Structures are given as C-alpha cells and as structure tokens.
C-alpha cells in the first residue's frame, strides 16, 4: 500500500500530483499548484472530470473554449470565505493564469459527460456549522450530492477550530452497500494556522489490519483508501482541509465506528 501521508514536492509549481495509480485505487485524483503572479497551469482532462478550487488567491480561468475571467476572492484560506470553484468535464482542456499568488486545487474523478464547464462557486456555497463543543467544525459543501454539479466528484472543505476534532466520531465509507454505505475513496489536503503548526489524522480499520496515525503539516495530503479517519487539531492551531471523494455512486453514506457511535447518538439526542 502507498504511504498514506504525502508531502508536497517543494513550495512552488505543481506540488502535489496524486493519481489513482500512485494512490493504488480507482477513482480519486488530487493535484495542487502554488503559483506566483503570471505563472500558468494547463491540463487536459482526458476521461476524467475536474473541479478547480481556488484555495487562495486569484487566477484567470478558461476551459472548453469558455473564458471565465479572473476568479478568486479570499487571499488567506482561513478567512473562511466561500471558495471560487469551476467544474470542467472530461474531454476538455483547462488553463489557469495566476493574477496574484495563488493556491489552486485540482480535484478529479471519472467523468461521464453529464455536465458542462461552469463556475460552481462561491454562489450556492455557504458556511455551515456541524457538531458541538470540541467537535464543532465549519463546512463549505462545494460539490456534495445535494448539488447536481458533477458526475462522480464529491468535494467539501472543513475548518476545525483549535483544540477540536472533526471527521469525528470516527466513520468509514468503504463498502458499496447503498443505502447503508457507499464506497468512496478520499483525500485530505491539510492547512494549519499558524502555518508552522501540526495536526493529527488516524486511518484505521475495525479489524486492525490498517492502523496509521500521522502528524500532518501545512500542505500535506492524507490518503484514505478505507477505514475510519478522524482528525485532531491541537490548542493554538486551527486546521483546514479540502476533501475529495469519489466511487461507483455519487452519494456519501457512512457508518460510525461501533465503539464510538455513542458520541454521535448523545450529541444528536
């Protein structure tokens, strides 16, 4: 199995390039560009659909002979403004030219040609609070199943306050057993505030066959091929992560770990 913790390859240009082949699975791809003003990124989508997320900064985006102009608003991801995002179908070519320092996430999964190239954010995206007490976190549902904006991709971003947990209680979505559960591979792109901080993520199965706990730093990516995958942010450091999920069905159905589901039941009562 590939290493579940993927460090960025430098501080500029294409610093992540995670493919189904490199991850050892079948659906999710995740790339990340860190561009300076005037620098460009251009890719062909091939048989995959793409959602571009402007994590930070501004860029001129074009795709499928459509010029979307300059997009982007938040200059620091921890401003918690809804992100600008663009959907691009399979069989297309896209380009991005940074007009400021820019962090651009490229989320991909198999495409079916069911949607046209279009801007899908920030309109339609709002900050939602989930959980309670030390399990409180804040969500931007960029492209979850309630938004019919993609064929396969599910994309969301989460802000976890200092000292809090998220993706918690531990849950899994690694069986194709709809409607009880859906099989979804997942990547976590992590950011910390202040940037020198750290957080923790555990990926583990109930039988103990997989059990890895990772200290994550700014710009790290964690792969979740199966199992439960909670995150913790220590006091003094706020955590952000961008999730990309995909599988045979575009639906997010999960089950909590049986030892820890009591937390969810208590908080939902």
pLDDT of residue 65: 83
Q: Is the pLDDT of residue 269 over 80?
A: no
Provide the sign of the torsion angle of the four alpha carbons 21, 88, 59, 80, taken in this order.
negative
pLDDT above 80: residue 148: yes
What is the pLDDT, as a whole number, of residue 6?
A: 98
Ordered by where they begin, the domains of the chain are 11-268 (2.60.120.10)
Whether the full predicted model's pTM is greater than 0.75, yes or no, is: yes
* Residue 128 pLDDT class (50, 70, 90 cuts): very high
Q: Report d(CA 178, CA 203) in Å as an integer.
A: 22
Stretch 249-254: mean pLDDT? 97
243, β-bridge pairs: 156, 188
Q: Is the pLDDT of residue 199 over 70?
A: yes
First-to-final CA distance of the chain: 39
Q: What are phi and psi of 251, to 5 degrees?
A: -155, 145
Per-residue pLDDT band for 268 (boundaries 50, 70, 90) equals: confident
pLDDT bracket for residue 244 (50, 70, 90): very high
Question: Is residue 1 pLDDT above 70, yes or no?
Answer: no
Averaged pLDDT, 210-228: 98
Is the distance from CB of 23 to CB of 114 less than 8 angstroms?
A: no
For 63-120, the pLDDT digits (tens) are 988 999 999 999 999 999 999 999 999 999 999 999 999 999 999 999 999 999 999 9
The rounded distance, in Å, linking the Cα atoms of 212 and 6 is: 13
């Amino acid at each position: 199995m590939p290493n579940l913790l993927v460090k960025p390859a430098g501080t500029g240009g294409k610093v992540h390039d995670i493919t189904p082949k490199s991850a050892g699975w079948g659906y999710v791809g995740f790339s990340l560009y860190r561009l300076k003003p005037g620098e460009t990124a251009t890719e062909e989508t091939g048989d995959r659909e793409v959602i571009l997320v402007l994590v930070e900064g501004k860029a001129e985006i074009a795709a499928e002979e459509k010029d979307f102009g300059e997009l982007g608003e938040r200059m620091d991801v921890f401003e918690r403004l809804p992100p600008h995002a663009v959907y691009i179908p399979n069989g297309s070519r896209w380009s991005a030219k940074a007009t400021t320092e820019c962090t651009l996430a490229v989320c991909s999964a198999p495409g079916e040609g069911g949607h046209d190239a279009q801007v899908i954010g920030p309109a339609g995206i709002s900050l939602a609070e989930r959980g309670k007490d030390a399990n409180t976190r804040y969500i931007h549902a960029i492209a979850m199943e309630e938004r019919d904006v993609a064929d396969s991709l599910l994309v969301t971003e989460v802000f976890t306050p200092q000292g809090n947990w998220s993706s918690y209680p531990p849950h899994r979505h690694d069986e194709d057993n709809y409607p009880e559960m859906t099989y979804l591979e997942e990547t976590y792109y992590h950011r910390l505030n202040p940037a020198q901080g750290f957080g923790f993520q555990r990926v583990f199965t109930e039988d103990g066959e997989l059990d890895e706990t990772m200290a994550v730093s700014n710009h790290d990516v964690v792969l979740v091929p199966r199992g439960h995958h909670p995150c913790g942010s220590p006091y003094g450091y706020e955590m952000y992560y961008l999730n990309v999920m995909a599988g045979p069905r575009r639906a997010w159905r999960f089950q909590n770990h049986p030892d820890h589901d009591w937390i969810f039941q208590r908080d939902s009562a």
